[in-house]
Amino acid sequence: MIQCVRPPNGPDYCSRVCCTNTMKNATRIKMLNSNCEVIVLYKDIITYGFREQYYTEARRRGILFVRYTNAAKPVVRRRDERGEMSEWGELPAGNLALTTLEVRAHEPVLDQEMVMHPDLLVVSTAIEPSEGTKQLAETLHVPLSSEGFFMEAHLKMRPMDFMEEGIFIAGMAHYPKFIEESIAHALAAAGRAITILSQHPLYIGGTVAQVNQDKCVGCLTCTRVCPFGIPQIDPTKVGNGGIVGAAWIDPAKCQGCGTCTGECPATAIQLVSYNDDQIMLRESAGLGAWIPAEVGSLKFEVRS
């Protein structure tokens, strides 16, 4: 059994479930046939939590573990019925039952090359996102992780939520996980959905951004910088100077991150309860006499 088999330029992350399943399968083979020799070639064994007991049981039953590195990866070759040796994947179509496998691996402890001729070769490949993941993420306006899986709003506090309200994540769409973890994640996502469906009516609130259409010049800055794609240009709204099309932000979808507020060149966007005047008033107590008597539309009384 060879762990962490990846194609060239393939994903370089741990799939989490491979090592534990390898321990289970190898142990099962030993239970069915104690005379069978099982060898596991690995880079690192990841059997976290109580799953370490599978690793311990596998070693107790005499399963051999040989470590390899990226600099000295195992080489698999096949010899066909004609006696010709070829690299894995290059053998032409034929009677594969008559194929002889040859696996070469460098043993780092003995500093020697091992040559094995297994009857059966099992490889653990990386679990990758489905082909439609990227397209679905673009449709739903939800982010993806660097590995290509859907990314949660917060790993610890909101592991089943997206930043886009009303959409939840569960199972291996999140990242590779075991069936019991997928079930627990699905139950949590269902619970979050029930909290919304059980409310009638729904209330929105909190810190959201609002657009002052009288100041908006339709420059599209907010639509470009928003990480959630919330601001839109509404052609029915009239902006500064009578321009047709002003920005509009849906308060039910706004996450209140303040990115558009800070980037708007016309200061046409303000956060509710965090507008410029309120921030200046809040800072005035700490700044004291260091602030001018007038800032914008505010007047301060400087006391000694």
Q: CA-CA-CA-CA torsion for 133, 136, 141, 144, nearest 10 degrees?
A: 0
Instruction: Specify whether domain 209-299 bears CATH 3.30.70.20.
Output: yes
Q: Is the pLDDT of residue 90 over 50?
A: no
pLDDT in tens, 24-39: 999 999 999 999 999 9
Mean pLDDT of 284-300: 57
Q: Looking at residue 241, what is its pLDDT? A: 85
State the Cα angle at 201 between 199 and 203, rounded to 5°. Answer: 90
- List, in order, residues 6 or more apart from 195 with CB less than 8 Å away: none
What confidence category does residue 259 fall into, taking pLDDT thresholds of 50, 70 and 90? very high
Residue ranges in 52-154 assigned as alpha helix (H): 52-60, 133-140
- Please check whether residue 19 is in contact with residue 47, taking contact to mean a CB–CB distance below 8 angstroms: yes
Instruction: Write down the mean pLDDT value for the chain.
Output: 85
Q: Looking at residue 203, what is its pLDDT? A: 75
- Please check whether residue 92 is in contact with residue 104, taking contact to mean a CB–CB distance below 8 angstroms: no
pLDDT in tens, 193-218: 998 889 888 777 678 899 999 999 99
The total of other beta-carbon atoms located within 10 Å of residue 162's CB is: 20
Cα 280 to Cα 104, 294, 304, distances in angstroms: 70, 11, 19
Cα 293 to Cα 68, 275, 290, 301, distances in angstroms: 71, 19, 9, 7
Give the whole-angstrom CA distance, residue 269 versus residue 272.
10
- List, in order, residues 6 or more apart from 241 with CB less than 8 Å away: 217
Give 148's DSSP letter: S
pLDDT in tens, 263-273: 999 999 998 88
pLDDT in tens, 118-176: 999 999 998 999 989 999 999 888 889 999 999 998 888 888 998 777 899 999 999 99
Give 26's DSSP letter: H
Q: Is the pLDDT of residue 51 over 90?
A: yes
Give the whole-angstrom CA distance, residue 136 versus residue 150.
10
Domains in the chain: boundaries = 2-125, 133-197, 209-299
Give the whole-angstrom CA distance, residue 20 versus residue 227.
37
Answer left, alpha or beta for residue 241, where phi above 0 means left and psi between -120 and 50 means alpha.
left
Question: What is the pTM assigned to this prediction?
Answer: 0.71
**Residue owning tokens 């799953």:** 51
Of the candidate ranges 35-44, 78-87, 127-136, 235-244, the one whose mean pLDDT is the lowest? 78-87
Give the whole-angstrom CA distance, residue 89 versus residue 98.
16
State the Cα angle at 134 between 133 and 136, rounded to 5°. Answer: 65
Q: Is the pLDDT of residue 284 over 80?
A: no
State the Cα angle at 269 between 268 and 271, rounded to 5°. Answer: 145
Q: Is the pLDDT of residue 222 over 80?
A: yes
Q: Looking at residue 272, what is its pLDDT? A: 86
- Please check whether residue 293 is in contact with residue 280, taking contact to mean a CB–CB distance below 8 angstroms: no
CA 58 to chain centre: 31
Closest C-alpha among 112, 126, 119 to residue 98: 119
